[in-house]
Structure 1
Amino acid sequence: FLRMRLKDDVNPVVFFLFRVVVGIFSVISYARSVTGRPAGPYRDVTSLDGLATCLQPGLNTLDRVFETSAKRFSRQDFLGTREVLREEEELQESGKVFRKVVLGEYRWLSFEKVYRAASSFGSGLAWIIAAQACFMNNFPLVTLYSTLGGPAIAHGLNQTEVTHIITSKELLETKLKVQLQHIIVVDEKPTSCVGYPRGISVHNMAAVQALGVKPENASRPRQLPAPSDIAVIMYTSGSTGVPKGVMISHSNLIASIAGMAERIPNLGSNDTYIAYLPLAHVLELSAEMVCVAYGCRIGYSSPQTLADQSTKIKTGSKGDTSVLQPTLMAAVPEIMDRIYKNVMMKVEEMSTLQKTLFILAYNYKMEQLAKGNSTPLCDKLVFKKVRALLGGRTRVLLSGGAPLSAATQRFMNICLCCPVGQGYGLTETCGAGTISQLWDYSTGRVGAPLVSCEIQLKDWAEGGYRNTDKPCPRGEILVGGPNVTMGYYKNEAMNRENFFVDKKGQRWFCTGDIGEFQADGCLKIIDRKKDLVKLQAGEYVSLGKVEAILKNNPLIDNICAYANSDESYVIGFVVPNQKQLMALAEKRGICGSWMDICNNSVIEEEVLKAITDTALSGQLERFEIPRKICLSAEAWTPETGLVTDAFKLKRKELKSFYQNDIERMYGGK
């Protein structure tokens, strides 16, 4: 009953009573400590007798999950991509010319066709098919972000002694000194070997597929994987240092998707998932494997073509969400923050009457959600156009990868008319840890532990966090269970530092994140050990906390807070919102190019004042507020190397990039 999906046509009285019941039992309905101690470990109340390890008996490896789904959903659509009809150049207001695309409808492959393609290894939707082919034949798969850069990619390929690589012509780095034997290029056209080192064979996907269907190869018995075999060595892009290869077994991934699927009601073949994050990201891999297991369609997209207003979509043509109309979506906060700010900018441009009606409807719905009531009239008359930004059919939106601000989460719940489940997980835990219940409209929390893992809190005296703290226990988050991975590839020192096995034989990972368990068993992330900087006077500043609050300012698209331990104040690097900043410059009578505006000292001071106001309203301490800032005319993208593919800040690279500005803002020290 508590997992029923509430629709707009439910009687408001019944809906209200339902929420009252949930409210009464919320203190014991999510998770509790299995030992009774404030340190935990904490488990979902439905898994107190044991942790879930698989979706159903017998399906304990990824190839068995795929094979079962291929039989069960054989003729149903599975993987879809849009055809590029044409590319055109479009002149921007700034004078720059961008190449834009016009895309057609989605074209689909059925489960049966994808299974056959994976069996013979090849065809259009290469990555997921190649991945399934590796899972089916027990070939360990290594994933590397293209944006890691040449040296980091070479490190991963050399460390794992890769013999075969699957890539595109655009991404292939021929100068890498690695021991490759075969390069498989994702292209149906014949591939030339000119320019490649001797001893390396170059193939296209069609050639590999043709090789696979030959009788002598098709009849070759597969080497079936065991649950404990490595499925993926996933190199984390990381925010600092050399990327680490996380060893993920079949059983790790199976446990992870079992835990995630339990939090999403009514999963099935009527669902369509939009996939736009890289499959080298653990959130995306886990989400797509959930879709494989439950027969959901997967339509492929990219951050540049996601919505009608996306950067590569030609003005007037449709983005991927409008065409696909997905019901399920996983999103990193950066993407959701963009949607939130774009809509709020349009609200600012409305007439006084329209703006007043929108704000009234927004506040009214927020009050009704708090009471447990639905608002079908408001949804239809006011929020329908906003909901259409993601296709109009989204029923579950999962957020992960970084903290989601309360303002953005509240906006998504209200304007997109669908629940936002905020989750917490890491590559080292297969992306699994917690996901909030979909009926929980509270903000700033990441929910209770999934049924496949448990969480405990470890004292961190240096930061002042203890699991005996009142009213809520606090400490470093440790995740334990079958989803905790096998460790880092060829890195025993870091394995000893970050992983351990308890007396019961259960494996644990020390996350470095600081959390607190609230009365109903929900976890809240409050700090991170690596983001904590001690200022000259002894105050501790959580850089991530500062950034999360300041990103609520409409002038800011992205921000990186920075502090030296031998200095007394925080500084910041800011990527401003171009439309908002140009409007501010016009208001102050300042003219010039975008670069001129960003380098203008008056504008810099105006932005700093706005940041300070946001910081104070967000209840930051005075010592946490940046005293000086630098405005960046260039956006931070994975291609610039300053953020990861999940848009997490790369602090080491940012520090190096802005070194001259750091010295300037700290008075030349």
Structure 2
Amino acid sequence: MRLKEDLNPMLLLLFHLMVWIYTAITFLPSYLLSWISRSHRNSYGSEEERAKRPKARSVLGRPEGPYRAVSTTKRLLSSLHPGVDTLDKMFEYAAMRFPHRDCLGMREVVTEEDERQSNGKVFKKVVLGEYRWISYREALTAATQLGSGLASLGQRPKTNIAIFCETRAEWLIAAQACFAYNFPLVTLYSTLGGPAIAHGLNEAQVTHIITSRELLETRLKAILPEVPRLQHIIVVDKKPTTWPGYPQGISIYNMATVQKLGARPENATFERKQPLSSDIAVIMYTSGSTGIAKGVMISHSNIIASITGMAERIPNLSEEDTYIGYLPLAHVLELCAELVCIAHGCRIGYSSPQTLADQSSKIKKGSRGDTSVLQPTLMAAVPEIMDRIYKNVMTKVEEMNSFQRTLFILAYNYKLEQLSKGYSTPLCDRFVFRKVRSLLGGRTRVLLSGGAPLSAATQRFMNVCLCCPVGQGYGLTETCGAGTICEYWDYSTGRVGGPLVCCEIKFKDWVEGGYRSTDRPHPRGEILIGGPNVTMGYYNLEAKKQEDFFVDENGQRWFYTGDIGEIHEDGCLKIIDRKKDLVKLQAGEYVSLGKVEAVLKNCPLVDNICVYANSDETYVIGFVVPNQKQLLALAGQHGIRGSWEELCNIKAMEELVLKVIAEAALTAQLERFEVPRKIRLSPDPWTPETGLVTDAFKLKRKELKTHYKDDIERMYGGK
């Protein structure tokens, strides 16, 4: 994606002359630095050359597959280290190799205050201190003592225990305690509402739960009468130490108290029954984008296989790396990413979406966000977060004066051209993109993207401006997050890479949707993932398990993903559709809702969008969360005035936004029947707290349909 700018001919000629001089001056040092850098690693070549290199091949030579990574055509890999086949052994192995290295870090709150906004709303702002670290040995001791303490409180091996907590160091310590003592860990998102929490706890028959003070008081306390089996609550915070006002029969402890209990000599000798690789490590309740959350049973061997596959795609992973953890640890992407880091001795510094950067919502103006302090080298992100970074930077580019903006655009396009040829641009990175790169701390070398498709525009922006590759990947909770990840030298967009070394993929024809493995030029169909990373099925849902999972004649487990993909000549997978997102209009046209949304999210006016289609109707409609700055500018251009909420409810604004969206859709070559004919503007963003998106920011279509029920009737002429 090249950036464009309208300039008068003389100014354009002047800048072309400047960029020619710049190129001439920087070519030799850039080429030498690039040559020196590449002499210490494999030469990756131009995009065209990289695209021709095989990443995977069909084992049987058939278009439907199965396809495996070129390095694993004989067998799939399922372990990182010999004999390390369970997660407790992996943590012990890491603590033995890196006993004194920093393991887990958290920032302390220095000050906290309420800040009143111009619209009357009050936001809590914080100033945070430096990171405080515990070593691998200290983390192992803390986990062992906690596990022993839980056992002394009656928790038994192979009996479920729940964790309902924000992403923080205590979450991972608690998980390691459960892995070590063979307590299957039931994970619940911290944004879940009362009914979903009660459903998970009751279905899993939980008696012990680990949570935070805030979640206990704001979410858990209200539903305690609905979970009669629950007896023990362990709070990860240090204060308070007494908990009045809770029902009889409920015991509440601080995590530190339970650890002290476990450290007592009489409890420290408690016989620990280590898990087998086939034992359940986690029952992970999915975020429920299509209905009630399902508990996915994940064994120790599933996770070990998954992190083996992921680690192979992260170059030079070592104890010198720093990872920033801020996505929900109850999501399989974040959990496996952190366990990959633990297995290699990396340090993990914790954050949150509200404190991630200097400009984040909870960071007091003038103080530093977590990326500025931590300066991570590794980071996982969902496309929603990367789209925000992209749009924020591009908005600032638009606000630059003409000289600055043109310089940025010329540098962007120059670097894009050099990347396509396989060259780096060290001087350009240092003098033009350093400020943008500093948004993530300035040292990020690999970004792992998952959870949803990443737009080509955002991926190109990350490659160019953040000066690091984006490893776009594909996986599901049911495959323990593993499936595919792009090689970090592959800068192609719109694809999710070849299969990992722990699994393989094949296609099943979906005749109704018109996708077959015999399609040309690329075989297409529903994606099936098989291998040791494929999980054990759904907890207490045997019928659903038999519907979505199967075991082949060789004893290998497979999962029907419901996603539609195509395989390219080099073995890279591209996700092109989803069975549940395909709607047939009254006139017979099929509309892929996800495809339309992915295209329209590239429009600067759109922060988020949900496309909706009723099979009884002839056209598509949409719900749009507009970009506030862009919408206010559009209103100003047309003399429309009002508050933010008023603007979003003015029909004239809907029509103006719809016109911009339609132009963007047709420019992206969507069919006319795919373009929304009517829209509803939403003044409020969709966050996991609203219940309209999952914790990975995937749309919850059922909830959105209910939320906008009246608008759907209006847009389809019902009102």
- Is the CA contact 1:533–1:542 (under 8 Å) kept in the aligned structure 2? yes
1:14 Cα deviation (Å)? 6.3
SS in 2 for 1:121: helix
1:347-403 per-position Cα deviation (integer Å, ceiling 9, x unaligned)? 000000111111111111111111111111211111110000000000000100000
1:69 to 89, 94, 106: 94
Give me the whole-angstrom Cα distance separating, in 2, the residues matched to 1:668 and 1:290. 52
Q: Which amino acid aligns with 2:711?
A: D
Aligned to 2:127: 102
Residues 114-129 of structure 1: matches in 2 within 5 Å? 114-121=139-146, 125-129=169-173
Give me the whole-angstrom Cα distance separating, in 2, the residues matched to 1:521 and 1:639. 39
Q: 2:192 matched to 1:171?
A: no
Aligned to 2:85: 60
Q: Which amino acid aligns with 1:171?
A: L
2:531 to 481, 506, 509: 481
Aligned to 1:138: 182
Calculate the aligned-residue CA RMSD, in Å. Answer: 1.8
Q: 2:568 matched to 1:568?
A: no
SS in 2 for 1:463: coil
In structure 1, list runs of 5 or more residues that go unmatched.
1-5
Aligned to 2:33: 9
Give me the whole-angstrom Cα distance separating, in 1, the residues matched to 2:700 and 2:462. 27
Give me the whole-angstrom Cα distance separating, in 2, the residues matched to 1:28 and 1:418. 21
Q: Which amino acid aligns with 1:465?
A: Y
Q: 2:481 matched to 1:457?
A: no
1:656 to 688, 693, 706: 706
1:22 Cα deviation (Å)? 8.3
SS in 2 for 1:148: coil
When residues 378 and 24 of structure 1 are mapped into structure 2, their CA distance, relative to the original with a 3 A threshold, is closer
Aligned to 2:203: 159
1:503 Cα deviation (Å)? 0.4
2:582 to 515, 519, 532: 532
Residues 39-438 of structure 1: matches in 2 within 5 Å? 39-121=64-146, 125-172=169-216, 173-174=220-221, 175-176=223-224, 177-178=226-227, 179-438=229-488
1:519 to 569, 574, 579: 569
Give me the whole-angstrom Cα distance separating, in 1, the residues matched to 2:632 and 2:384. 22
1:243 Cα deviation (Å)? 0.3
Q: 2:673 matched to 1:629?
A: no
Give me the whole-angstrom Cα distance separating, in 1, the residues matched to 2:568 and 2:114. 53
Give me the whole-angstrom Cα distance separating, in 1, the residues matched to 2:37 and 2:333. 38
When residues 13 and 296 of structure 1 are mapped into structure 2, their CA distance, relative to the original with a 3 A threshold, is closer
TM-score, normalization: structure 1?
A: 0.97
1:493 Cα deviation (Å)? 1.2
Q: Which amino acid aligns with 1:145?
A: Y
When residues 7 and 90 of structure 1 are mapped into structure 2, their CA distance, relative to the original with a 3 A threshold, is farther
Aligned to 1:545: 595
Q: Which amino acid aligns with 1:103?
A: L
Give me the whole-angstrom Cα distance separating, in 2, the residues matched to 1:590 and 1:373. 48
TM-score, normalization: structure 2?
A: 0.90
Q: Which amino acid aligns with 1:543?
A: L
Q: Which amino acid aligns with 1:148?
A: L
Q: How many residues align?
A: 664
1:378-430 per-position Cα deviation (integer Å, ceiling 9, x unaligned)? 11111110000000000000100000000000000000000001000000001
- Is the CA contact 1:44–1:450 (under 8 Å) kept in the aligned structure 2? yes
Give me the whole-angstrom Cα distance separating, in 1, the residues matched to 2:657 and 2:126. 35
1:47 Cα deviation (Å)? 0.6
Aligned to 1:590: 640
Give me the whole-angstrom Cα distance separating, in 1, the residues matched to 2:36 and 2:661. 41
1:146 Cα deviation (Å)? 2.4
- Is the CA contact 1:12–1:373 (under 8 Å) kept in the aligned structure 2? no
Larger CA deviation: 586-595 vs 112-121:
586-595
Q: Which amino acid aligns with 1:546?
A: V
SS in 1 for 2:560: strand
When residues 337 and 58 of structure 1 are mapped into structure 2, their CA distance, relative to the original with a 3 A threshold, is same
Give me the whole-angstrom Cα distance separating, in 1, the residues matched to 2:421 and 2:42. 10
SS in 2 for 1:646: coil
Identity %: 72
1:72 Cα deviation (Å)? 0.7
In structure 2, list runs of 5 or more residues that go unmatched.
1-29, 150-167
